[in-house]
Chain A
Amino acid sequence: METNRKIKLQVKELYKSFGAKIALDHVSFDVEDGEFLSILGPSGCGKTTILRILIGLLEPTSGTILKDGADITRLPASKRGMGIVFQNYALFENMTVLGNVEYALKFNKETKPRARELALEQIENVGLTEYINKKPHTLSGGQQQRVAIARTLALHPDVILFDEPMSALDVATRLSLRDELKSIQHKLGTTMIYITHDQEEAFALSDHIIVMDNAVIHQHDKPMNIVESPADEYIRSFVIHNLALKIHSLSKYAGGTSHD
Chain B
Amino acid sequence: MIKADRGYSVFKWLILVFFAVFLVIPIARLMTSITWDSLVKIIKSAAFGRALRTSLTVAVLATVISIAIAYVAAWAVTRTAIPCKGVFTLLATLPMLIPSYSHASGLVFLFGQNGVLTNALHLDLLFGKSSYIYGIPGIVMGSVLFSVPLAFIMIADVMRYQDCTPYEAAEVMGIPKPNRFLAITYPYFRKPMISIIFVVFTAIITDYGVPHIIGGKVITVAEMMFQKTVKLLDYNTGSVLGLILLFPAVISFLLDFTNKDKGNMSFVGRRFEIVKSFRKDAVAFILIVVISLYLLIPLICAAYNSVLTSYPTDMTFTLEHFRTVVFKSGFKYLRNSLIIAVVVSLFGILLVTVTAYLSARMKSKLSRVLHLVSMTAMAVPGVVLGLSYVIVFKKSVIYNTFLIMFLVNAVHMFASPYLMMYNTFSKLNENLESVGVSLGISRWHMFKDVIFPLAKSTVWDAMSYFFIQCMKTITAVAFLWSTYTKPLAIKIDEYNAMIETENVAVATLSILAVNILFKLIVYLRQQAIARSRTREGNVILPDLMSNRKQACC
Q: Are B437 and A99 in contact (CB under 8 A)?
A: no
Interface string of B438-462 (1 = CB under 8 A from A): 1111100100011001100000000
B450: A residues at CB distance < 8 A: 92, 94-95
Distance (whole angstroms) from the CB of B266 to the closest CB of chain A: 15
Q: Tell whether B190 is near chain A: CB-to-CB under 8 Å.
A: no
- Docked-complex contact A114 and B551, CB < 8 angstroms: yes
Q: Does A82 contact B (CB under 8 A)?
A: yes
A82 touches B536 (CB 8 A): no
Q: In whole Å, how far is B274's beta carbon from the nearest beta carbon of chain A? A: 28
Contacts of A9 in B (CB 8 A): none
Which residue of chain B lies nearest to A161 when distances are taken between CB atoms in the complex? B438
What's the nearest-Cβ distance from chain A to residue B425, in Å?
14
Interface assignment of B35: CB less than 8 Å from any CB of chain A:
no
A177 to B80, CA, bound (A): 43
Q: Residues 112-136 of chain A: 1 if any B CB is under 8 Å from the residue's CB, otherwise 0?
A: 0110110010000000010011110
Shortest CB distance B116–A (Å)? 54
The CA of A228 and the CA of B538, in the complex, are separated in Å by 55
| Contact across chains for A135 and B536 when beta carbons are under 8 A apart | yes
- B539→A151 contact, CB < 8 A: no
Asked if residues A103 and B449 are in contact (CB atoms below 8 Å), the reply is: yes
A108: chain B residues at CB < 8 Å are 439-440
Contact B534 A120 (CB under 8 A): no
B535 at the interface (CB under 8 A from A): yes
Residue-wise interface mask of B (523-553) relative to A, using a CB-CB cutoff of 8 A (1 in contact, 0 not) = 0000000000111111101001001100100
On chain B, the residues within 8 Å of A116 by CB distance are 544, 547
Give A114 Cβ to nearest chain B Cβ, in Å: 7
- Chain A CB within 8 A of B432 CB: yes
Indicate whether A86 reaches chain B with its CB closer than 8 angstroms: yes
CB of A11 within 8 Å of the partner chain: no
Asked if residues A151 and B439 are in contact (CB atoms below 8 Å), the reply is: yes
**A residues near B439, Cβ cutoff 8 Å:** 78, 83, 103-104, 107-108, 151-152, 155
The answer for the CA separation of A116 and B540 in the assembled complex, in Å, is: 12
Shortest Cβ distance from A88 into chain B, in angstroms?
A: 6
How many residues of chain A get a CB closer than 8 Å to chain B's CBs? 47
With a CB–CB cut-off of 8 A, which chain A residues contact B125? none
B217 lies within 8 A of chain A by Cβ: no
Closest to A59 in B: B3
Which B residues lie within 8 Å of A79 (CB)? 440
Report B526 CB to chain A, min CB distance, Å. Answer: 15
Interface pair B440/A133, CB less than 8 Å apart: no
Which of B430, B434, B535, B544 touches A135 (beta carbons < 8 Å)? B535
In-complex Cβ contact of B429 among A57, A58, A86, A97 (8 A): A86
B-side contacts of A59, CB under 8 Å: 3
* CA–CA, A86 and B439, complex, Å: 13
Given A90-B431, A117-B548, decide whether A77 and B437 contact each other with a Cβ distance below 8 A: yes
Query: A78 to B437, Cβ gap below 8 A?
Result: yes
What are the residues of chain B within 8 A of A135 when measuring CB–CB? Answer: 533-536
A96 within 8 A of B: yes
Residues in chain B near residue A97, CB distance under 8 A: 537
Chain A residues within an 8 Å CB radius of B441: 103-104, 107
A 58-82 to B, binary, CB cutoff 8 A, 1 in contact else 0: 1100000000000000001111001
What 1/0 flags go to A142-156 for Cβ under 8 Å of B? Answer: 000000000110010
Q: A87 within 8 Å of B by Cβ?
A: yes
Check if B454 sits within 8 Å of A57, measured CB to CB: no
A77 to chain B, nearest CB (A): 5
B547 contacts A113, C-beta separation under 8 Å: yes
- Chain B's nearest CB lies how many Å from the CB of A152? 8
Q: Does A35 contact B (CB under 8 A)?
A: no
Complex contact B537–A56 (CB within 8 A): no
A-B contact pairs, 25 of them (CB 8 A): A57-B437, A58-B3, A77-B437, A77-B440, A78-B438, A82-B438, A84-B435, A86-B431, A86-B434, A91-B429, A93-B533, A94-B533, A95-B450, A96-B536, A96-B539, A97-B537, A103-B441, A104-B439, A107-B439, A117-B551, A132-B537, A138-B534, A151-B439, A152-B438, A163-B431
Q: Apart from A90-B430, A113-B551, list 18 A-B contacts with CB within 8 A.
A: A55-B438, A57-B4, A76-B4, A90-B435, A91-B429, A92-B432, A92-B449, A93-B454, A94-B450, A96-B536, A104-B440, A132-B537, A133-B536, A133-B537, A133-B538, A135-B533, A135-B536, A138-B534
